Amino acid sequence: MTTIEERTGAGVSFGLTDEQKALRDLAHDFAEREIRPKEQEYDEHSTHPAEVIAKAHELGLMNVHIPRAYGGLELGAFEGMLIGEELCWGCSGIGTAIAAAGLGHGPVILAGTEEQKQTWLPPLVDEVVLSSFALTEPNAGSDVSGIQTTAVRHGDEYVLNGSKMFITNAGYAAWFTVFASTDRSKGHRGLTAFIVPADADGVVVDRHLDKMGQRATDTSALSFQDVRVPAANRLGEEGEGFKIAMKTLDFTRPGTAIGAVGVARAAFERAAQYSKERVQFGMPIAMNQGVNFLIADMATKIEAARLLCWQAAWMIDNGLRATLQSSYAKRFAADTCMEVTTDAVQIFGGYGYMKEYPVEKLMRDAKLFQIYEGTSQIQRLVIARELLMPRD
Ligand code: COS
């Protein structure tokens, strides 16, 4: 297997440019001022953070990958990560509500025609408009090829029927990227992607789902009942939907992984501080090897997770296929987040288990990173396949 260096000849730098530092500081300041003070309230009531999203939009902290040609900032995957880590450090429920908009319109950037891009992307820059990615179904989660929603062509239109499950921001999206089967006999080669306006007749947001964590993000069930979509809204050709979904996820998984780094860092900072303040047996508990080794391992794993995310972003920004590196990052960062937040609760002891202390929420929030955008098991499956049966 050729190494990345052999393929690109480029070196690696861990330093940030002044512009990148300014972007990270802007996102951090926003997270500290606008997100942190509201994280408990949004979590408790599981409400859509419309106000915070509007402010993030105004500051240019969302939809950041939209190309300049359509009014966007055209930031790279790496710059997106500098923002994403900070927003999720503030609260991953709110951070995910902001970041998931990128998943919704990612397929349009990736596979849209010029006309589709001109139609659907500029409004996302001009106004606070959300798009949403409708892939998962009640009976098709990890197994994308099992999608049962159908799209049948009638003249210049397709008629969509079916149900979607666990769709982020579904209750607040202006339009969806929907993956449906145009030919069930072809399995994954029969899947096709469509842009479906939320106000089209027959689009029904069935219910807001009550989650364990990341409760500020709306997750809803959705259905399509004889929804008529113009053929002009089809992304790519019939049968290209599966690959469009996979390529989108190659791009977005590291962005999700960096959110897990942000949550882990928030838990680490709080636990490290607490370990210095909490006195037992006449000394801060941080003096005990049983605690400070935990702290050391937490910090090491967070650093490693961030570097895997940065590597995946670097691959993407250099135009390289990053399927393997995206799954490395997503798998390791999600599992790290779960471990670090669990250890943070352990360091806080009984207080950590209580809702009035912040780490209980972080542990609940962490769990979702091991599930959405491909479970940790699916990431391992992708990693094993990429290593043992590489596609190029
Ligand atoms: N980029 C481009 N093409 C890809 C690809 C990628 N990352 N991954 C797979 N493909 C291609 C394969 O090369 C194959 O092409 P051919 O039809 O030409 O042979 C095709 O897609 C099917 O690939 P594969 O055989 O690997 O498909 P599987 O059905 O085994 O599924 C997994 C692969 C499990 C990786 C996929 O279904 C998956 O990612 N599942 C998790 C879904 C997920 O993340 N859900 C969360 C929803 S968003 S919150």
Does the structure show a pLDDT above 70 at 9? Answer: no
Residue closest via CA to ligand 1's atom 48 equals 373
The strand pairing partners of 154, in sequence order, are: 157
Place 4 in a pLDDT band, splitting at 50, 70 and 90.
Answer: low
Does the structure show a pLDDT above 70 at 153? Answer: yes
Mean pLDDT, residues 80-94 taken together? 98
Does the structure show a pLDDT above 70 at 5? Answer: no
Residue closest via CA to ligand 1's atom 22 equals 188
pLDDT at 6: 58
Place 12 in a pLDDT band, splitting at 50, 70 and 90.
Answer: confident
State how far the Cα of 106 lies from the Cα of 112, in Å rounded to an integer: 9
Closest of 263, 298, 261 to residue 90, by C-alpha: 263
Ligand 1 atom nearest to CA at 136: 47
C-beta separation of 227 from 160 below 8 A: yes
Neighbours of 27 (CB within 10 A): 25
For all residues of the chain together, what is the average pLDDT? 96
Task: Specify the pairing of strand 279-280 against strand 234-235.
Answer: unpaired
State how far the Cα of 293 lies from the Cα of 55, in Å rounded to an integer: 40
5 as an active site residue: the answer is no
Pocket of ligand 1 (CB under 6 A): 133, 135-136, 142, 144-145, 188-189, 242-243, 246-247, 249-250, 323, 372-374, 378, 381-382, 391
Per-residue pLDDT reduced to its tens digit, 114-128? 999 999 999 999 999
What sections of the chain are H helices per DSSP?
A: 4-8, 18-30, 39-45, 50-59, 77-90, 92-111, 114-120, 122-126, 241-277, 289-317, 323-352, 359-369, 376-388
Per-residue pLDDT reduced to its tens digit, 257-307? 999 999 999 999 999 999 999 999 999 999 999 999 999 999 999 999 999
C-beta separation of 34 from 86 below 8 A: no
